[in-house]
Chain A
Amino acid sequence: MEFLVDKYADKLRRAGLCENPVVGGLDDVLVWNRGADPAWTARLTPVFGRMNISGLVFGCPAEPFATILEFLAAEYPDGFAPKDTETRTFLHELPVIHEFTPKAVADVLGRRKSVIIATPSVMGIAAHGSVTPEQGFVTFSSVCFSSFVLFFSEYLRHVRAGTVSPARRTAFEAAVAHLEPMVEQGPELACGPFADREAALQAMVEAGRATVEYRLVDSYFGNISCLLNQELLISQTGSSLDELPGLIDFCPLDGSSTACLTASSELTAHSQVYAKAGGRAILHGHPRFTVILSMDCAERGQNVTCEIGKLDLCHVKCPAKRYLSGEDGGVPIVPGEVGTGPNGLANTLPAAMTGRGAAAVWGHGLFTLGNTDFNQPFQALLDIENGCRRRYFATVDAAEGRR
């Protein structure tokens, strides 16, 4: 347990999400990560007494998330529900409380995975897990991601409408000042075609790690695959892309074994992309500005008031042909939920990937395809995200100029 609490505290730091995280793990004895602030642990220990849980993560988020959450907690004092896939599927909503007591925290964590704590002296996130502290880490990360997406999406909407409040503008400028600089060039990754399983595995491990290092996924999750002879190699469900050794499944294309039952939930989407669009390597990440623009349809006139939009079904039924660049021929945006259900992205993604070699899924993330190895899809992931970020701020600037 000591290993786990230290591991996830360290991951929160390395991901730039929190500088002084507090991670607790309970079997029969409660342990906290090394360096956990005793003032926080004293306040959080009673939470374990109020809940049947195994792990608890708390931390004051680093910038720009602190600024973003402070603003959102004031804007939505009871909580908010971003429209991205992460929230819609797993978090459902992000509750906010304004007192930092064990009872208040436990009351909310009793019904949801996370709680944002906003008091005059504390701006924090608490999240729990019934199995391990990892669940708290994942949720903490997802709260940061979803809040980021909501904050920047809302700013775009308000700036277009000319309704940006002074507080929102101040928060926006502060958050933007904390954004990390763009990186234009990806790393040099192993060149394909891969001779054998071992070479393919090493290439996947390398590309997965780089995807995390370049902050192109949230919670370390995304997925990665490559096609080798009659096998599809793909990361396992719930695996962290920076910890892939031993967590890659080998799926025979003829389906003759179900030993890869643990493969990513996007296995079908990946295999269909290879079948329809060709290629040998797929990367899937959750780059933030790509996700923000995938949900932005205001440029298409008043389509936000279309019937699908009114029903809040854009994520599964958006009928429009949309592109991240806003122009035909760019990276297409398709609707689709996680997995293989009738509304699953496995039904929409493969056709969209054909030709362009990349496609975004509404509110979810970006898939990129390579012909031989991960150099091409990695650079595409980076370029598309950078392009989305530039376009986002260009749109904001233009809208503010108009106003």
Chain B
Amino acid sequence: MMNASEESRTGLCGTGQSLTGWTGRILSVDLSTRKIGTMELSHETYATWIGGKGLAGFLLRPQITLAWDNPFMPIIFMTGPLVGTIAPTSGRGVLMTRSPLTGTVGDSSFGGALATQLKRSGWDGVVITGQSEELVGIEIKDAEVQIVSAEPLRGLGTEAVFRALANKGSVACIGPAGENGSLLACVMVDRHHAAGRGGLGASLGAKQLKYLSVSGTGRVAVADRILLKKAREDIVRLTMASPALMGQQGFACFGTGAVFDLMDARRMMPTDNFRSTHFSDAGKVNAFAYRERYQPEKYGCKGCHIQCKKVRPGVGGGERRAMPEFETMSHFTALIGNTDMDLVLEINALLNDLGIDTIGAGATLACYREIDRQEKGHRVMDASEILELLQGMAQGPEHLGGGSRRYATAHELPWASMSVKGQELSAYDPRGAYGMALAYATSTRGGCHLRAYPISHEILRKPVATDRFTFSGKARIVKIAEDTNAVVDSLTACKFIFFAAGLEEYARAYSAVTGLETTAQDLLRAGERIYFHDRVMNGINGFSIRDDDLPMRFFSEAGSSGGGVEIKPINRKEFYQARERYYRIRGLDERGKPLREKADELGVAW
């Protein structure tokens, strides 16, 4: 066991200035040398990159050209300045490295209590490099840090790991999928939460890191508690006024599954591997049906009053199990033609235990199903076959464990992979929301709905409604939303609360916590810098216009019109024009590469 504060300090430019909000200390752990140290960044660096995604990106940049499994490639767990304070929904953290699945910047926001515990233990984040010779865990208890053998946990599912580490505080761990290098592997946090996308579980596996546990007892310093309390009141008041969050049909009552019926009603529920957009059995497997059948309980991240997570009581006094999120509900019913809710729950538990991204797994399974039909003709896939295929995804990067793009390409049917940059699309069909179409394409981590989340205005009508069937105005809207969400992931807060509050209110919280007088536009500028930095890192690794595109199907096949709504194929020319506008607004050249002058303007290293 080592006391990190007494170990090596790899200070970048420590100033000795006192900080509030941030602890000013980042833990570094080299698993090759077993060296544990402390990094200190300047106050200016914190103010420039904020925390979370921004700060992690700053630390990732020097190594971004390395292969994802190179021992020198860092894996970064990062908190933000609001974590551990009373700022609403600020218990989240960000995990970042280079994505094994896509090769892009790979970051994933995670919930639970890990980020709060990390902050309370005196660390803004943890940077992990090297590669251990044996399977290990990193255990943090305030300033005490140790690397311990995790060989007894080898091959175990995450549920067993959480049980074994029940007295270790908050835990992030991988299951067999991560250990075996599955490119769909995720990192599970505190049993019910996940850093889901990008295959980041494989990154931990490559370093032979089974888990990270954190237990902290400190308090986070805040510059102005009265101002923070006022900011919190303003944010909570807005939350209470939000039907999507706190209404009787909202996330607080039904979890993210509340979106399920709406997606089908708007004729944009991905069905049968995105071959159609309406699932006739949706009413049988909606959030209400889950509630009636399983009586889930409210649960949520540390520091959140919305409690959108839903868990079901444990059987026979066992641990509570997470209910499926909206994307899991949708992808394991409509996308693969299943109407068995018990099976969805079994799948959800299995994938969480294996440590696999449910969105990627669902879309990869749907891809497999379509190719299988193409090659062998129509047949019904039963529950046992589905479970067996999902088990197989955890065995390694081969076969379905490499994700849909690799599988479809290997079968010379690349069009069957519904992915962008190799990452599978989530449960919003882009033919029903053109902002979503553009946002999928421009996302720096591939087919992700959360980078800009246009569903907020195109479907949920917040902050105002936009016409979902036009690209007019969407280029700038998507760009600003990407910047905003980059800030949210850097503070680090939850994107859902931005259905109700905005950076106007969070700037007040940030100012109160850090003592830095900051406006919403100041934060948005930082968000622009952080997101542009993603594009720079991706650009260095060769990503460009050809990667900012959608699967062919969306341009050539109509969705399921009905209910007074026509779902046409997306007009490719209009899509490309919108992308061109996005490039101009974002400061990219016509090939989607970052422009030097924009980098200079934003203070991003070139």
**Which A residues are within 8 Å of any B CB, using their own CB?**
1, 3-4, 25-28, 50-54, 88-90, 92, 106-107, 109-113, 129-132, 134-135, 138, 236-239, 251, 255-265, 267-268, 271, 337-341, 343-344
A111 touches B237 (CB 8 A): no
Which of B8-16, B119-127, B520-528 is the interface stretch? B520-528
With A255-B248, A268-B247: A54-B240 Cβ-Cβ less than 8 Å:
no
Known interface pairs A258-B259, A267-B248; 11 further A-B residue pairs with C-beta atoms within 8 A, sorted by A's residue number: A50-B521, A52-B521, A54-B473, A113-B504, A238-B462, A258-B261, A262-B459, A265-B241, A337-B241, A340-B240, A344-B240
A262 to B465, CA, bound (A): 10
Q: Which of A130, A261, A339 contacts B262 (CB 8 A)?
A: A261
Interfacial residues of chain B within 244-264, with CB under 8 A of chain A in the complex = 244, 246-250, 254, 257-262, 264
A130 touches B484 (CB 8 A): yes
Q: Which of A89, A110, A265 contacts B520 (CB 8 A)?
A: A110
With A130-B463, A238-B461: A28-B262 Cβ-Cβ less than 8 Å:
no
B561 within 8 A of A: no
A239 to B461, CA, bound (A): 9
A263 touches B234 (CB 8 A): no
Measured between beta carbons, the chain A residues less than 8 angstroms from B477 are 54, 130-132
B side interface size, CB within 8 A:
60
B519 touches A110 (CB 8 A): yes
B466 within 8 A of A: yes
A89 touches B521 (CB 8 A): no
Q: Which of A131, A262, A271 contacts B466 (CB 8 A)?
A: A131
B584 touches A28 (CB 8 A): yes
B410 within 8 A of A: no
CB distance from A222 to the nearest CB of B (A): 14
CB distance from A112 to the nearest CB of B (A): 7
A4 touches B473 (CB 8 A): yes
Measured between beta carbons, the chain B residues less than 8 angstroms from A265 are 241-243, 247
A261 touches B581 (CB 8 A): no
B248 touches A340 (CB 8 A): yes
B154 within 8 A of A: no
Which of B41-49, B85-93, B282-290, B537-545 is the interface stretch? B282-290
B265 within 8 A of A: yes
Number of A-B residue pairs, CB cutoff 8 Å, is 169
Q: Which of B236, B261, B457 contacts A259 (CB 8 A)?
A: B261
A117 to B264, CA, bound (A): 46
A92 (CB) vs chain B CBs: closest residue = B234
A111 to B528, CA, bound (A): 17
B238 touches A89 (CB 8 A): yes
**Which B residues are within 8 Å of any A CB, using their own CB?**
234, 236-244, 246-250, 254, 257-262, 264-265, 283, 286-288, 457, 459-466, 472-477, 480, 483-484, 502, 504-505, 507, 519-522, 524-525, 528, 581, 584-585
A86 to B261, CA, bound (A): 31
With A106-B521, A111-B521, A135-B463: A267-B262 Cβ-Cβ less than 8 Å:
no
Give the residue among B264, B287, B521, B585 with the most A Cβ atoms within 10 A. B521
Give the residue among A106, A109, A238, A339 with the most B Cβ atoms within 10 A. A339
CB distance from A213 to the nearest CB of B (A): 22
Q: List 12 A-B contacts (CB under 8 A).
A: A52-B524, A129-B463, A130-B463, A131-B464, A237-B243, A257-B283, A258-B259, A259-B262, A267-B247, A337-B237, A337-B240, A341-B237
B240 touches A258 (CB 8 A): no
Measured between beta carbons, the chain B residues less than 8 angstroms from A135 are 463-464
Q: Which 6 A-B residue pairs are closest in the complex by CB-CB distance?
A: A341-B240, A110-B521, A338-B241, A259-B261, A111-B519, A28-B581
Measured between beta carbons, the chain B residues less than 8 angstroms from A130 are 463, 477, 480, 484, 502
Measured between beta carbons, the chain A residues less than 8 angstroms from B250 are 261
Measured between beta carbons, the chain A residues less than 8 angstroms from B248 are 255, 267-268, 271, 340
A238 (CB) vs chain B CBs: closest residue = B461
With A88-B237, A111-B520, A135-B463: A52-B483 Cβ-Cβ less than 8 Å:
yes
A107 (CB) vs chain B CBs: closest residue = B519
Measured between beta carbons, the chain B residues less than 8 angstroms from A338 are 237, 240-241
A256 (CB) vs chain B CBs: closest residue = B288
A27 touches B472 (CB 8 A): yes
A111 to B524, CA, bound (A): 11
A270 to B247, CA, bound (A): 12
Give the residue among B459, B502, B520 with the most A Cβ atoms within 10 A. B520
A29 to B131, CA, bound (A): 50
Measured between beta carbons, the chain B residues less than 8 angstroms from A262 are 243-244, 262, 459-461
Measured between beta carbons, the chain B residues less than 8 angstroms from A106 are 521
Measured between beta carbons, the chain B residues less than 8 angstroms from A89 are 237-238, 241
Q: Which of B246, B261, B465 contacts A238 (CB 8 A)?
A: B465
Measured between beta carbons, the chain B residues less than 8 angstroms from A264 are 243
Q: Which of B464, B505, B581 contacts A129 (CB 8 A)?
A: B464
A3 to B258, CA, bound (A): 33
A258 touches B249 (CB 8 A): yes
A3 to B466, CA, bound (A): 12
Measured between beta carbons, the chain B residues less than 8 angstroms from A259 are 261-262, 264-265
B584 (CB) vs chain A CBs: closest residue = A28
Measured between beta carbons, the chain B residues less than 8 angstroms from A92 are 234, 504-505
B240 touches A255 (CB 8 A): no
Measured between beta carbons, the chain A residues less than 8 angstroms from B464 are 129, 131-132, 134-135, 138, 238
A183 to B507, CA, bound (A): 44
A130 to B507, CA, bound (A): 15
A259 to B462, CA, bound (A): 16
CB distance from B404 to the nearest CB of A (A): 29
A256 to B246, CA, bound (A): 17
A130 to B241, CA, bound (A): 20
